[in-house]
Structure 1
Amino acid sequence: MLMDFVHFAYILSLVGWIGSIVFFSFFTAPVIFKLLEREKAGEVVGVIFPRYYFFGYVCAVMALSSLMVSAQVFFGPKQILLFIMIAGWFYAGLVVSPKSRKLKTLRKSASSAEEKARLEVTFKKTHSLAVKLNASVLSAGLGLLWFSAIGLKL
């Protein structure tokens, strides 16, 4: 019975985390940026991001705890993929996202066009890194879900 709960928590954390990435990346953000002007859309997404990353942190802890309790091997494909997910997610949420927020604030208050342009270039690079990390976490998550489904009995 306890292991059933552990397995449930593991699957729930994976599908919740992967689902949130898919929903935000392919539905929420595109709609927000389509309906609102760029600056306002960025503000809305900026409000969503802390919640988005927090949800991922919770899912990461649940998935890691569940996998550690139930795994028969300590270091296999599932663990590697989960490590990639956790590392990418925490780096994006704790390093890249705050840097992006700071760059947006600095860009708004920049006094010269040159400074704004320089900050815009830096912001675009930071945003590109965030997108790549998000895609990496999603890819690793789908791989982890695949390995987790092998041998699954319904």
Structure 2
Amino acid sequence: MKVLLFFLFLISIAFWIGSMFFLSLFTAPTVFKVLPQQQAGTLISHIFSKYYTVGYICGLIAFITSSVIWFTENNGKRNIYLVRVILIAAMLALMVIAGEIIRPKALEARANIRKLPSTSTDQLEERKRFAKLHTISVAINTTVFLLGVTTVFITAYTIKE
């Protein structure tokens, strides 16, 4: 049982931060290089809906398995396991904020940009709004990624023997 829990924990973290790494460094830049900006934005928004779903599923699996491991262990590593649970909870919470709060607002701003005349001040305001939301989303997702890498390091540290 312990091996299965640890395997599910590891695979969920690997898929989660791996998908973040690949999307950020390869998929998005390539899409925006190959396609016109409007088409690239549409494609990336479709990819992001799946990206966040993967994050929610992997995050939930990582949180549950890590919590069970922490709860059932009675060795000297309980405190470090608790830190791991807290990091994963923070990652999952941030992922939900980015996907369920920031993303819908960014999609709305992008839709408004497309329907407003390019010379209007309203479109300029929507562009500023979109840029701000995009910056927030990038910051949140970068934080989730770094917390994930930290979680992997902590996990490696606990099995160093």
Which category describes the TM-score, using the shorter chain as reference length? over 0.9
**Alignment correspondent of 2:151:** 144
- Other structure's SS at 2:158 match: coil
Between 1:103-112 and 1:41-50, the stretch displaced more is: 103-112
2:133 counterpart of 1:102 = no
Once residues 53 and 130 of structure 2 are traced to their aligned partners in structure 1, the CA distance between those partners, rounded to angstroms, is: 22
Q: Residues 55, 65 of structure 1: CA spacing in aligned structure 2 closer, same or farther, 3 A cutoff?
A: same
Specify which structure has the bigger relative contact order, considering alpha-carbon pairs within 8 angstroms and separated by 6 or more residues: 1
- Deviation at 1:152? 2.3
Q: Deviations over 1:80-139 (max 9, x none)?
A: 211221111010011111111111111111246111100000000000000000100000
Q: Secondary structure at the match of 2:159?
A: coil
Distance, in Å, in 2 between the alignment partners of 1:69 and 1:80 is: 13
**C-alpha deviation, 1:52, in angstroms:** 0.4
Unpaired runs of 5+ residues, structure 1, are none
> 1:89 maps to what in 2?
95
The residue that corresponds to 1:122 in the other structure is 129
Aligned to 2:31: 32
Structure 2 equivalent of residue 80 of structure 1: 86
TM-score (norm 2): 0.90
Q: Which amino acid aligns with 1:63?
A: A
Could you list the runs of 5+ residues in structure 2 that have no partner in the other structure? none
What is the root-mean-square deviation of aligned Cα atoms in Å? 1.6
Q: Which string of whole-angstrom CA distances, capped at 9 and with x for unpartnered residues, describes residues 2-21 of structure 1?
A: 11110000000000000000
TM-score normalised by L of structure 1: 0.93
Task: Work out the number of aligned pairs and report it.
Answer: 153
Write the deviation string for residues 36-94 of structure 1: whole angstroms up to 9, x where unpaired.
Answer: 11111100001101100000000011001101111143773212211221111010011
Deviation, structure 1 residue 153? 6.2
Comparing 143-152 and 123-132, the one that deviates more: 143-152
For residues 15 and 89 of structure 1, do their structure 2 counterparts lie closer, same or farther at Cα, with a shift above 3 Å needed?
same
CA distance in 1, matches of 2:62, 2:109: 32
Q: Measure, in 2, the Cα distance between the counterparts of 1:79 and 1:153.
A: 19
Matches within 5 A, 1:15-30: 15-30=14-29
